[in-house]
Structure 1
Amino acid sequence: MSKKITRSLAVSAVAAVIALPVGVGTAQAAGPAPREYANCTALNKVYPHGVGKLGARDKTSGTRVTTFTRNNKVYSLNTKSDRDKDGIACEKA
């Protein structure tokens, strides 16, 4: 290979390694630090439509719900507030 092609490949490889961490991450919404809330009234002040696990489905309709905030950590701290056990705590329509 010529020096020009080798240098170009090396620069491309370095750029790919540097850019990799930028594209990798979680799909959780940014917001306040995860914590346990006393009740749904307190949770809904911060998360108006509730908070749920990624990919949660409404138990009554079986369809995906798109209005709640997706955050596995906050949900796991507040599972007691998920009355119907569908993966969404304190959901509101």
Structure 2
Amino acid sequence: MISPRLAIAATVLTVAIAVPSVVAADAASASPKAYANCTAVHKTYSGGIAKAGVKNNTVTSKGKVTHRALKGKVKFDTALYNANKKSDRDGDGIACELD
């Protein structure tokens, strides 16, 4: 027969082991979302997704570079930007920006 003290210790040990595995599963499921296209991005972030630290929209027209204010609701998140980098046509650090 197991003593009550040993049964309590076994229960506490089981809980302590289960907690780290739950935390690891949550961390793995927290990867940034890759949107199918800019229409999908604009449903959530009307101004697109930018790398952290981007201050303005860089626009090149006829060889001339200009910097414009960001428009719409822009999400600043480098990991999310990297997951959607394919949608950054001009390579200025903003995916699906409004021109």
The TM-score, its normalising length taken from structure 1, stands at 0.56
Q: Does the alignment pair 1:35 with 2:33? A: yes
The 8 Å contact of residues 47 and 71 in structure 2, kept in 1 or not, is answered as no
Mapped to 2, the partners of 1:89 and 1:44 lie a distance apart of 10
Give me the identity figure in percent: 41
- Deviations along 1:53-87, one digit per CA (max 9) or x if unpaired, are 01223212235637421011110000000001000
| Partner residue in 1 for 2:90 | 84
The 8 Å contact of residues 47 and 70 in structure 2, kept in 1 or not, is answered as no
Q: Which moved more, 1:41-50 or 1:81-90?
A: 41-50
Mapped to 2, the partners of 1:63 and 1:45 lie a distance apart of 22
Bigger strand fraction: 2
Mapped to 1, the partners of 2:40 and 2:32 lie a distance apart of 13
Unaligned runs of 5+ in 1: 1-32
| Partner residue in 1 for 2:53 | 55
- Give me the CA root mean square deviation: 2.0
Other structure's SS at 1:59 match = strand
Unaligned runs of 5+ in 2: 1-30, 60-65
The TM-score, its normalising length taken from structure 2, stands at 0.53
Which structure: larger Rg?
A: 2
